[in-house]
Structure 1
Amino acid sequence: MDIASERLIVDAIGAAWPDDAVQAEEGHGHAGASGWTWVVDPLDGTRNYISRTGPWSVCIALYHQDRARMAVVHEPVAGETFSAVDGGGALLNGEPLAVTGGPSLERALVGVSFQPNPATKARAGRVIRELLPLVGDIRRVPAALNLVYQAAGRLDGGLALDTNLWDIAAGALVAREAGVVLGGHGPDFSTELTIGAAPLLWPALSEQVRATA
């Protein structure tokens, strides 16, 4: 299903915008000459999809040079489409999204996302061991949904470890446009570490995660 989904998306992009580049998880990407790049995750949350134990989504982001300009995260089972335009705000099924200040750390619901390889699971275990006693609770969710759920106020903050660009590109733009504060070990988030939080939660959550991740 990953491969079939990606082929549908990449073929459609190629037919409409043949000069654009595509970066896609399952290897169907190609170079381009226009300066625009589509970043595609055809199925984020594959294990959830296979086991039917949690949410999954289809994620597409459009970059111009090195900046995300548009993004969509579609969750088919829930019938929800999160979208954003750079500088134009974020939407859920066409309705605007905007985060509030957020709770204190001890009341926060925090999403956690990580790649399921041994090294990253060990790293995630260390972070969760230190973080869980300090927050209200933790949920493990796929990286893109972690970010858009923050945009929708369902999670107060979150972190993602050792992702790929296609895992976080679309969700990060939606979160940013909704007012979620994003960062990593520095002021910019990265595939190695992405932290997101509502504005008032950001100082405490980012400090704690940076100290252990």
Structure 2
Amino acid sequence: MERDLLAARELAAGLAVRAGRLQLERRDTLKMGAPKAHVNDVVSDVDIDSERLIVDALLQQWPDDAVQAEEGHGRPGTSGWSWIVDPLDGTRNYVSRTGPWSVCIALYQGDQPRMAVVHDPAADETFSAVDGRGALLNGEPIAASSEPELEKALVGVSFQPNPRTKDRAGRVIRQLLPLAGDIRRIPAALNLVYLAAGRLDGGLALDTNLWDIAAGALIAREAGVVLGGHGPEFTTELTIGSGPALWPTLSEQVREVA
């Protein structure tokens, strides 16, 4: 079944902006729920309402599609198309006002990503991509960094804050920090789209979920970012990304300890 991917991107971008506006408007009145997988895995009523806004609108337009969504609004489908939704990637940053967060929507045909949107509400930036058509930031083309030297590179690091993953992240940071220009810790989706925009020269994410990286990964690849993991394909366990010039050095250093 064919689909107008440009129209799908326009709808997804509009929904991401609407969800981001809701998040900004309700930041002072949000209510926290019980932690999910571990004590640092937090959720608010704004996460849940943002997801409902997005999923309801998508299914109104394409009622036969499947949905994978972080806060429980997923469902099977029959069309062969699946929406991957993270309504608020970086909830702890959002609720604590200590950093950026984003709204993430990706569309898969089977197991292939075809369209993606990542919206940063605070910065009013919308990153997007359609398979084979390049990556955009607020409608303008973006491209990966050409920096070849790790000692000059700015590297983003993303990881789940559970004990096992924090131990892995500690090993990676100890390996990279003396070698890289500097390191930034940011949520996974923004890590990937900052790679796409050339703001970061390299990045890695440990123990994510598909909804954390699905949208950002397509945008990064469409911008010329090389992505991989322990093998040639990135995984939720390990995602490494950089421009082609930095890839051999960065991937070798991360794989050695991750």
TM-score, normalized by the shorter chain, greater than 0.5: yes
Q: Do the aligned partners of 2:153 and 2:202 also contact (CA within 8 Å) in 1?
A: yes
Tell me which residue corresponds to 1:208. 253
1:23 aligned to 2:68?
yes
Q: Structure 2 CA distance, aligned partners of 1:194 and 1:32? A: 28
Count of residue correspondences: 213
Report the Cα distance in structure 1 between the residues aligned to 2:147 and 2:133, rounded to whole angstroms.
22
What is the letter of the counterpart of residue 128 of structure 2? S
Counterpart secondary structure, 1:133: coil
Give the conservation status (yes or no) of the 8 Å contact 2:153–2:181: yes
Structure 2 equivalent of residue 94 of structure 1: 139
Correspondence for 2:57: 12
The structure, 1 or 2, with the larger RCO (C-alpha pairs under 8 Å, 6+ apart) is 1
Cα RMSD (Å) of the superposition?
0.6
Matched residue SS, 2:129: strand
Give the Cα–Cα distance (whole angstroms) in 1 for the partners of residues 52 and 162 of structure 2: 26
2:154 to 76, 87, 109: 109
User: CA shift at 1:14, angstroms?
Assistant: 1.1
Instruction: Find the aligned partners of 1:2 and 1:71 in 2 and give their Cα distance.
Output: 19
The 5-angstrom pairing of residues 36-185 of structure 1 reads: 36-185=81-230
CA contact (8 A) 2:113 2:214 kept: yes
List, as ranges, runs of 4+ consecutive aligned residues in structure 1 with deviation greater than 4 Å: none
Displacement of 1:100 in angstroms is 3.9
Aligned to 1:190: 235
Q: Considering only CA atoms, is the larger Rg found in Structure 1 or Structure 2?
A: 2
Check conservation: 2:154, 2:180, Cα contact below 8 A: yes
Distance 1:43 1:102 in 2: 31
- Listed as ranges, the gaps of 5+ residues in structure 2 are 1-45
Identity %: 80
1:112 is paired with a residue of what secondary structure?
Answer: strand
AA partner of residue 192 (structure 1): E
Residue 182 of structure 1 deviates from its aligned partner by 0.3
Post-superposition shift, 1:107? 0.7
Q: Matched residues in 1 for 2:98 and 2:146: separation? A: 31
**For residues 22-65 of structure 1, what are the alpha-carbon distances to aligned partners after superposition, in whole Å with 9 as ceiling and x for unaligned?**
00001110000000000000000001100111100000000000
Deviations 1:117-138 (A, max 9, x none): 1110111011111111010000
Conserved? CA contact 2:193–2:216, under 8 Å: yes
Q: What TM-score comes out, normalization by structure 1 length? A: 0.99
* Matches of 1:102 and 1:38, distance apart in 2: 34
Structure 1: distance between partners of 2:197 and 2:143: 7
Give yes or no for contact 2:145–2:242 (8 Å, CA) kept in 1: no
TM-score normalised over the length of structure 2: 0.82
Equivalent-residue separation in structure 2 for 1:70 and 1:14 (angstroms): 16
